Amino acid sequence: MEIEKHQHHQLHVFFLPLMAQGHIIPAIDMAKLFASRGHRSTIIITPHFLPFLSKSINQNTDSATQIDILTIKIPTYEVSLPEETESIHMATTTEMLSKFFQALPMLGPQIEELIKRHRPDGLIADMFFPWATDVAVKFGIPRFMFHGTCYFSLCASVCMIRYEPHKKVSSEYETFIIPNFPDKIEFTASKVADFYKEDVEPQYLKLFKDMHEDEMRCNGVLVNSFYELEPAYADHYTNVLGIKSWHIGPLFLNSKGMNLEEKRGMECSIDKQVWLKWLDSKRPNSVIYVCFGSMIKFEDKQLMEIAMALEGSGQEFIWVVRKEKQEEWLPEGFEERMEGKGLIIRGWAPQVLILDHEAVGGFVTHCGWNSILEGVCAGLPMVAWPVSGEQFYNEKLVTQILGIGIGVGVNKWSRNEGDFVKSEKLENALRRVMKGEEAEEMRSKAKGFAQMAKRAIEEGGSSYMDLEAFFQELRLVRLSRKISKFC
Ligand code: UDP
């Protein structure tokens, strides 16, 4: 019915996410959301992700028929990468990663071919593809950007690029205030991504500058957040920094209703019966969930500290570790002692479902935006342990602006391995976030945000309405294109 109603005004949108789980997951959620509102979504991706996508898109829903998938090939030969390097995760060294990024602009002609053939009404391309705007312009269609993060971090990144406060301090750890910002946020150069420092990563600095220019010149930015969570920053981004945007999240909540068995496309490393039975046997809010996203690989000595903190705190836990083999990273006899008290998931966990279980009462997170949003929607207080990307900004949002988390005390940005954290720091944070007055206060605030998130995506809610405004914009562009052709 719903789809029929919109048929005449059906829009067709191309989604071009970066080839990494943290980017593809919200892109799939977005594609599903568009389809559920009667539009056609086409996701463009490398063949490596085909099984991932087909698992994510539940073919039994009406809207699944509105989602197509097209493949592109990374020009690996041209940059001397092994042919099978079809995702960021497969670029396992710094050199490979740099080549992978060199290859991305070469995708332009393939995207042009696909646009020529399928004539979509718009292209939503990842922030890592600044060249995509020129491609879209060539065909007279609008190009929108998707960053996959929140307004707070978008504003902070723009301010870093524009004002470069991290270059005006005398040492890495000297604090500065983020300039031209709604709140007084202290930061240090050590927490700024290497990508913004020409002495460390010159080719990435160019890419990030191009991205920010593109942010200004494309047709606008889609943000996986909701207005009530960070109103000052949503307004600041548009009104002060001058970047057009639509807040349409939390995207995963929209799609969750369509597919409750959602595994975010990956095969889970644990049987549902096992974790569910385990959590069902626990009291409400008694378990902390510890997970560091899809990319981070801590060294063994760091894992050892985490294990010691979990044991030392006496806290019940689920801990997701991206390691298959035993066991140099665990204190001797750890698993026997933790029997019944803790569950280690080696590999991929059904994160959204676990966070949503009433026994889970807190979340130790690397502050990837998807994870934070999932934690917010589950109404959980968080221990913020940022590592890379824009995670140090996200930490500030969670701890200082929203007041629903505490920092574990990391001070230095690093690619994937993280700034070393001693067990005592984590142990202390675990206690603070799980029990006592402070924990209850944070939990109650988080639950408030969770309710706001649900309202935002309902018909008439802030995200629902902003998405409608986005569709309206696309329709207008389509109409003006038709008129100009006619004239
Ligand atoms: N995720 C998951 N199971 C895992 C690890 C991660 O389902 O074992 C999902 C998580 O729910 C989130 C995404 O992977 O949706 C990770 O995205 P995020 O932005 O948090 O971090 P990234 O992996 O991009 O650093």
CA terminus-to-terminus distance, the chain: 36
Instruction: Give 325 Cα–ligand 1 centroid separation in angstroms.
Output: 21
Annotated catalytic residue within 23, 39, 236, 247:
23
Q: What is the pLDDT of residue 432?
A: 97
Predicted TM-score (pTM) above 0.90: yes
Look-up: residue for tokens 């629903």? 404
Q: What is the pLDDT of residue 415?
A: 78
CA atoms within 13 A on the CB side of 187: 30
The model's pLDDT over 250-277, given as tens digits with 9 standing for 90+, comes to: 999 965 544 445 556 677 888 889 999 9
Go through the domains of the chain in sequence order and give each one's CATH number: 3-256+459-484 (3.40.50.2000), 272-451 (3.40.50.2000)
CA atoms within 13 A on the CB side of 117: 9
What atom in ligand 1 is closest to the CA of residue 365? 20
The model's pLDDT over 219-259, given as tens digits with 9 standing for 90+, comes to: 999 999 999 999 999 999 999 999 999 999 999 996 554 44
CB 381, CB 362: distance < 8 Å: yes
d(CA 380, CA 433): 9
d(CA 471, CA 9): 10
- Could you report the average pLDDT of every consecutive run of 10 residues in the chain (487 residues)? 55 97 92 94 96 78 81 96 95 92 97 98 97 97 96 96 94 96 97 82 84 95 98 98 97 64 69 94 98 92 96 97 77 94 94 96 97 97 97 98 98 86 98 97 98 96 98 93 78
Active-site residue flag, 280: no
Annotated catalytic residue within 29, 121, 126, 466:
126
Q: Among 28, 256, 264, which residue has the most ligand 1 atoms within 8 Å of its CB, making it the best to mutate? A: 264
Rounded to 5 degrees, φ, ψ at 367 are 75, 25
CA 244 to chain centre: 20
What atom in ligand 1 is closest to the CA of residue 371? 20
Instruction: Give 263 Cα–ligand 1 centroid separation in angstroms.
Output: 11
- Tokens (6 digits) for 254: 């929209």
d(CA 345, CA 265): 17
CA 163 vs CA 65, 153, 155, 299, 475: distances in Å: 47, 15, 12, 35, 37
Any ligand 1 atom below 6 A from CB of 371: yes
CB 126, CB 16: distance < 8 Å: yes
**Atom 17 (ligand 1): residue with closest C-alpha?**
22
